[in-house]
Structure 1
Amino acid sequence: MASVKGDLIDRLVDEGARLLVAEGLGGLSLRKVAAAAGVSTMPVYTLFGDKRGLLAAMHREAFRRLGAALAAAGPADDPLQHLGLLGFAYRQSALDGPHLYALMFGQVFAELPADEDGRAAADAAYLPLVDGVRAAQTAGILAEGDPEPVALHLWAVAHGMVSLEINGHLPALGDPADMYAIALNNAIQPFLRM
């Protein structure tokens, strides 16, 4: 069961992400976040200190949620199936929190780099994919080699498809989930062991 403080932080993070997407960095303030969450400004300042603290917390929480979604995908007996489960967990996490997804990969953190904890959270969310590729290589399903470039390629395809879908730019060629599955399947093909 989540704590009251944890629930409040989640609510503030979600409202902050919505405001950031809707109004941009200049339109984000702790007062607006407090109002949107229906709380006084006191807990917002106590929890985050300032706008930069709120942004850092939003960034960490976004990647924490992504990491939790990937971990919940769980291992599969077949390493290739496991990579597919990770891909669909990535998509579902993005669809469940499009505002946080925009925050993780948007322009804000190019301008305001993540703190050490934020970078660690981002790295931790990426590692399951690298480990999944490594497991598929070890099982002889994928060609041997450094798993990092393969993981990056798979992530780029997943990220591109999800970004197109969230932003309404995915061509109307069929069901988005089916199109995503096809894209993931096509992305892994060059790395399959012949």
Structure 2
Amino acid sequence: MASVNEVRLEARLVDEAARLLGEHGPAGLSLRKVAAAAGVSTMPVYTLFGDKEGLLAAMHREGFRRLGAALAAVPPTADPLADLAALGIAYRQAALSSPHLYGLMFGRAVPQFQPSAADREAADATYQPLVDGVARCQQAGVFGAGDPRRVALHLWAVAHGMVNLELNGQLPELGAAAEELYVEALGYAGLPFVATM
């Protein structure tokens, strides 16, 4: 089991690697450059990650670990629709706090990188809270019947699209803060599923 210091060092190295990837692209990412950016020798970097592929896998895992933790921190309340919105807010906050990891998690920041089956499974698990949130809205009669996975996909597509626009500086100037536009988009995304009276 890794010590607290090893866990902290790995998180620091992952963040440095993500920064280098964001600033210089895949060609600017190497274990030696990550070690230099973090101010450590190359030995712990090679010990932790082995090679560049291992580093990318660790970055992918850490990004989804952070996303999963952000979503898990949203406490369920008696209002499932408010809880669903809170999950959307947590998703955006996780993306904004680790923007370069987000690009690796959901983009093609490193086209040749392919996460392992186990890492893909762990990533897919972060989608389940959204599906569960939709199912709770359906059970409460807030949303109409239907496959909660399909509704969740629609909601995630809107959230993901808005986050990508914001991270890439492509949100149109509409006289409102990015967070306000995001929350508004989430509201519009949910309207087709609201149960009719």
TM class by shorter-chain length?
A: over 0.9
Q: 2:159 — aligned with what?
A: 158
What is the CA distance between 1:51 and its match in structure 2? 0.5
Q: Runs (4+) of structure 1 moved beyond 6 Å?
A: none
Q: Distance in 2 between matches of 1:176 and 1:108?
A: 23
Selected match of 1:176 from 159, 175, 178: 178
Structure 2 gaps, min length 5: none
What is the count of residue pairs matched by the alignment?
A: 193
Structure 1 gaps, min length 5: none
Compute the RMSD of aligned alpha carbons.
Answer: 1.2
Question: More helix by proportion, 1 or 2?
Answer: 1
Q: Distance in 2 between matches of 1:130 and 1:110?
A: 28
Q: 1:25 — aligned with what?
A: 26
Deviations 1:108-129 (A, max 9, x none): 4653211123212211111100
Q: 2:65 — aligned with what?
A: 64
Deviations 1:62-89 (A, max 9, x none): 0010010011112121110011000000
| Distance change >3 Å, CA 105–CA 77, structure 1 → 2 | same
Q: Distance in 2 between matches of 1:189 and 1:109?
A: 36
Identity of aligned residues (%): 62
Q: Distance in 2 between matches of 1:141 and 1:110?
A: 41
Alignment TM-score, normalising by the size of structure 1: 0.96
